[in-house]
Amino acid sequence: MKKSLLSTALLVEPNEKLTYPYNLLPSKYHKTRFSTIAEAQKFVTLETPKLICLSASFSSEELLLFLENLQKQVAVSLPKLIFVIDLKNPLSCIPGVSWGQNIEVITSQTTDTVVSAIFTQ
């Protein structure tokens, strides 16, 4: 990748009205939010985020392609990956990836305390 901003949090969420858990991100992160995988893919070719919150509302194919492309582009270490499940969405997808043992899952029922702990780890 060309550039790495250690404090960038990439949020990829198709539901523009969904604010939780994103509103709990610590202020040390610069939030960059996109509603499509294609927009996020373009962004990660320019910058390596420290944290990625990826909606589980995208198709499995879209998620896997995005993650595979990102993994090929990252030079040093994979950014922390958090899947966000919108329980109002009838179908969610979490691909079976290990992601360097740096992966978490958050839902709308995850408590603020747990979400904050995940974001600060």
pTM of the shown model: 0.89
Ordered DSSP codes for 45-56: TTEE-SEEEEET
Cβ within 8 Å of residue 46, ≥6 positions away: 1, 2, 3
Instruction: Please say if the pLDDT value at position 26 is more than 80.
Output: yes
Residue of 81, 38, 42 lying closest to 58 (CA atoms): 38
Instruction: Please say if the pLDDT value at position 22 is more than 50.
Output: yes
Banded model confidence at residue 5, pLDDT cuts 50, 70, 90? very low
Question: What's the pLDDT tens digit per position in 53-67?
Answer: 999 999 999 999 999
| Torsion angle, alpha carbons of 49, 107, 92, 42, to 10 | -10
Instruction: Please say if the pLDDT value at position 1 is more than 70.
Output: no
Residue of 107, 88, 105, 87 lying closest to 96 (CA atoms): 105
CB contact at 8 A, 37 and 9: no
Question: What's the pLDDT tens digit per position in 47-97?
Answer: 889 999 999 999 999 999 999 999 888 877 889 999 999 999 889 998 877
CB contact at 8 A, 54 and 43: no
CATH class of 3-120: alpha beta
* Residue ranges in 9-103 assigned as alpha helix (H): 37-44, 60-73
pLDDT at 99: 81
Mean pLDDT of the chain: 89
Q: Where are the domains of the chain?
A: 3-120
pLDDT at 117: 94
Instruction: Please say if the pLDDT value at position 6 is more than 70.
Output: no
Distance CA 95, CA 43 (A): 21
